[in-house]
Structure 1
Amino acid sequence: MATIEMYSKTTCPYCFRANDLLRGKGVEPTIYNIDAGGPKREEMIQRSGRMTVPQIFIDGQHVGGCDDLFALERAGKLDAMLAA
């Protein structure tokens, strides 16, 4: 099973949607809460080049945000990435 990391905020509806999709596939992502900013927020920006949440990584590869994750699902590519 792949390692999933997600940078998130507690009140972000897109973060909830992404997390629900992943958990529905039997995957428990590691969640980095960046509500207060700090080093994890800076790490997210460095890794993804983006400032919005969620930012999702599968086995260290940046896949983007919620819309990007759902696009992978619609294209039939997400399951293969999660199984790697």
Structure 2
Amino acid sequence: MLADQDQPVVLFALEWCEFSWSVRKLFAAAGIPYRSVDLDGPEYREDDWGGAVRKALARKTGAVTIPQIFVGGQHIGGATETFDAFNDGTLHKMVRQAGIDLKDASVGNAYGFLPAWLHPRKPAAA
């Protein structure tokens, strides 16, 4: 999966995970095509294939959290590392090096794609 030059951006995700959703939203807004490997999806349920892939992924990356993102076979990290890489331009460079034209780099702060419950709350008006 990681060596597929036709789909160099790979998102290992869980269908129900809000952090996975956040990365998907960022990629959609920026026009970054990606392959989603939904480890809890129907394709990976039989014989706990998703669990086996997740264990192999943890051994490879040292990270047990989901999502995990790769570009051109290079591990970026999870959601926050991906957002940091987007915000500082590293992700743009990696995506372009992988042969993908970034459609929109002007989506603002990537952390804005996180679930609302993670954003700081504003004090109620008096």
TM-score by length of 1: 0.86
| Partner residue in 1 for 2:12 | 7
SS of the residue aligned with 2:28? helix
Aligned match of 1:22: 27
Paired residues, what number? 84
**2:37 pairs with 1:32:** yes
Deviates more, 1:6-15 or 1:69-78: 69-78
Is 1:42 matched with 2:47? no
| Other structure's SS at 2:25 match | helix
C-alpha distance in 2, partners of 1:32/1:46? Answer: 17
Q: Is the aligned partner of 1:71 residue 2:76?
A: no
Identity %: 26
Aligned to 2:101: none
Please give the alpha-carbon distance, in whole angstroms, between the structure 1 residues aligned to 2:56 and 2:35: 14
Instruction: Give yes or no for contact 1:48–1:62 (8 Å, CA) kept in 2.
Output: yes
Q: Which runs of 5+ in 1 are unaligned?
A: none
Which of 63, 66, 71 is matched with 1:53 structurally?
66
Q: What is the root-mean-square deviation in Å for CA atoms of aligned residues?
A: 1.8
Give the AA of the match of 1:5.
V
TM-score (norm 2): 0.60
Q: Based on CA coordinates, which of the two structures has the bigger radius of gyration?
A: 2
